Structure 1
Amino acid sequence: MAQAGFEELVEDFEFLDDWEDRYRTVIELGKAMEPLPEALKVPATKVEGCASQVWLHLTWEGGKLHFEGESDAMIVRGLIAVLHRLYDGLAPAEVAAIDARAELGRLGLNEHLSAQRSNGLRAMVERIQEQAAAAA
């Protein structure tokens, strides 16, 4: 079971009839995120494998994951916000237990993202899971 914030997003998506509405919702989530400080946009936080520029800054506070992220593409920024709802505040073992593909599939993202966006999303999930494994 995913985080409460992610479950709310799944419920919201159930009321949106078409992908364009869902796409707009994802973009709005990205717009609502705080920008990542320039000092954190460094090679160590850059996610390779994404068509656009993507940075994820992950920290562990009190044994729980907290992360910030940013992208130069609005839809990718929104996908970072979706991942934030899925993972933020979880312990490493909880992060590892999430089947991101299945959870994101509940939003209908699998069928509607381009191959490049899907690869970038997969790269972001892998970065989060790798860091959780290292923290465990």
Structure 2
Amino acid sequence: MNDNKLSPSTEAFTGLTLDPQEILPSFTQAANWQERYRALMLLGKRLPPLAEALRQESAQVRGCESNAWLYHREIDGRHYYLADSDARIVKGLIALLLTAVQGQDKKTIAALDLHEYFDRLGLSGQLSPSRTNGVLALAEAIKAAAVESSKR
């Protein structure tokens, strides 16, 4: 995933802040799926786009129907991620995932139950099967990066 010579700076990882107390209420308080969908797309806009040079095949997440890239860095036992997608809804889903894992330790990331998390946000059953599979692939890539990093 991060094997290529190009890699984002450490500051790019630690500078990405997604406060769950600020972000998650927009989903839990949304009255219907249309409001959640809109909130999801707005959340995706908060993620900085990856530079074109970083959109490397080696950073692509397999299993996503659209293009998605993921970078990981462990800093002082905490795990940080940068990710992007060429699809707005996927980018919003990435932002939701990163809200749950950014700056967390390996144990917390490994314990993330994506189905419970999406139930709590009111997103379960709202995503197409292909989107659900893509989000699951992203979540697994996030977990795998934390585990693999800790083995080094």
Q: Is the counterpart of residue 130 in structure 1 residue 144 in structure 2?
A: yes
Q: What residue is the counterpart of 1:69 in the other structure? A: 83
Q: Is the counterpart of residue 120 in structure 1 residue 131 in structure 2?
A: no
Shift of the alpha carbon at 1:8?
4.2
Q: Is the counterpart of residue 51 in structure 1 residue 65 in structure 2?
A: yes
**Tell me, which stretches of 5 or more residues in structure 1 are unaligned?**
none
Q: What residue is the counterpart of 1:27 in the other structure? A: 41
Q: SS where residue 129 of structure 1 aligns?
A: helix
**Tell me, which stretches of 5 or more residues in structure 2 are unaligned?**
1-17
Taking only aligned residues, the RMSD between alpha carbons, in angstroms, comes to 1.5
CA contact (8 A) 2:28 2:120 kept: no
1:104 maps to amino acid: F
Q: What residue is the counterpart of 2:119 in the other structure? A: 105
Shift of the alpha carbon at 1:10?
3.4
TM-score by length of 1: 0.90
User: For 1:5, which of 15, 19, 23 is the aligned residue?
Assistant: 19
Shift of the alpha carbon at 1:124?
0.0
Q: What residue is the counterpart of 2:103 in the other structure? A: 89
Aligned residues: 133
Q: What residue is the counterpart of 2:11 in the other structure? A: none
Separation in 2, partners of 1:7, 1:103: 14
CA contact (8 A) 1:40 1:57 kept: no
- Between the two proteins, what is the percent identity of the paired residues? 36
2:98 maps to amino acid: H
1:5 maps to amino acid: D
Q: What residue is the counterpart of 1:41 in the other structure? A: 55
CA contact (8 A) 1:26 1:79 kept: yes
CA contact (8 A) 1:92 1:135 kept: no
TM-score by length of 2: 0.81
